Amino acid sequence: MKPSMPLRITLAAFIACIGLLGYAAAVNAQGGIQEHIVETETGVYYIVQPGDTLWDLSQHFSDSPWLWPDLWKENRQINNPHLIYPGDRIKLYRRQDADRIPVVDAKPKPEGAQVRYQNINAVGFIRKDGLEPAGMVIEPVGPKALIGQYDQLYLVGIDHEYQVGEKYTIYRKLKPINDKETREYIGIQHLLVGICEITEVRPDTAIADVIRSWRIIQRKDLVTPFLERSPVIEIKESVPGLIGKFISSEQHARLTGQFQTAFIDKGERDGIEVGQYYTIFQQNKNRVWTTTGINKIIRMPKEDIGSVLVLHTEDNTATVLLTRSEKSIDPWTPIATPF
């Protein structure tokens, strides 16, 4: 969810992903921004200018607009990220692994290579048995129509006691999914919407700060203890001879294309592992060709129309990133081992 108030902290996502040196090269191309970078004995700083917003700059320069809180953590003098003004001095920093591990792009990487998918903690899943929640979102603290990052909310426990400082993933269960052709039950989709941290425990409720929000948080959303997932993905060999189906995009978008997250109907029991690539293909029906009175069946070849990278696995499904698409990918399109 894009924050409702303009966020005037700048450069976090870009600096977090590619580092200060990459930033300097990029701003030269932008023109004007470079002159607002100041080098001192204590570090390198950026002077906030009118109109600067973290969201827009991180969207433009990085793989994700959601990385701006990383820069806020490096600038403890900032009390409220909604209240950053022109003239403020923000210290820039460089990720130690920025040059070593690239972000996921459209070009498949060789086995053993590493890539980074920064939004890994936002990746949802399809599971046969629904996740048992630890609690539920009751309502926001204060008169809020929408709940998002930096808001507070009330939680109630479901056979669970909260402790101050604990973090929870906020999620939502969607409708059960069945195979389009066989009607076999596949599982329940779990859509992850944010992360919250308990700040106060009361007799019947707890208060939590929303420290991440990827989508609008709603009343009756569920929570489960937060488990940090590494954004670094090691590329692995795909399962030989695998044939499966592309279920749908995570958001059930009408048009599904490059860099959207989605699901496939193969999982751990089929040998699927995080870091494997698979090909999305289409294949026209075989043709009957008549020549000199003899019918001959022409087997039409498979046509490669996209590729996916596995981000998360369950028993019978996996969540994938669509790294390449030649066209919008329809639900239940076949997938296979790369060919």
Residue 318's pLDDT is: 98
Reported as a single tens digit per residue, the pLDDT across 113-124 is 999 998 999 999
Q: Which is higher by pLDDT, 321 or 13?
A: 321
Q: Which fold has domain 233-336?
A: Thrombin, subunit H (2.40.10)
In the predicted structure, residue 164 carries a pLDDT above the cut 70: yes
In the predicted structure, residue 7 carries a pLDDT above the cut 60: no
Report the top-level CATH class of 12-91: alpha beta
pTM over 0.85: no
Reported as a single tens digit per residue, the pLDDT across 300-311 is 789 999 999 999
Reported as a single tens digit per residue, the pLDDT across 57-108 is 554 444 445 556 666 766 677 777 667 778 888 776 554 544 557 778 888 8
In the predicted structure, residue 12 carries a pLDDT above the cut 90: no
In the predicted structure, residue 324 carries a pLDDT above the cut 60: yes
Instruction: Place 19 in a pLDDT band, splitting at 50, 70 and 90.
Output: very low
In the predicted structure, residue 255 carries a pLDDT above the cut 60: yes
Average pLDDT value for residue range 313-332:
96
Q: Which is higher by pLDDT, 182 or 297?
A: 182
Q: Where are the domains of the chain?
A: 12-91, 124-225, 233-336
Average pLDDT value for residue range 257-275:
96
In the predicted structure, residue 16 carries a pLDDT above the cut 50: no
Instruction: Place 232 in a pLDDT band, splitting at 50, 70 and 90.
Output: very high
Mean pLDDT of the chain: 83
In the predicted structure, residue 182 carries a pLDDT above the cut 80: yes
HEC readout, the chain: CCCCCCCCCCCHHHHHHHHHHHHHHHHHHHCCCHHHEEEECCEEEEECCCCCCHHHHHHHHCCCHHHHHHHHHCCCCCCCCCCCCCCCEEECCCCCCCCCCCECCCCCCCCCCEEECCCHHHCCEEECCCCCCCEEEEEECCCCCCECCCCEEEEEECCCCCCCCCEEEEEEEEEEEECCCCCCEEEEEEEEEEEEEEEEECCCCEEEEEEEECCCECCCCEEEECCCCCCEEECCCCCCCCEEEEEEECCCCCCCCCCCEEEECCCHHHCCCCCCEEEEEECCCCEEEEECCEEEEECCCCEEEEEEEEEEECCCCEEEEEEEECCCCCCCEEEECCC
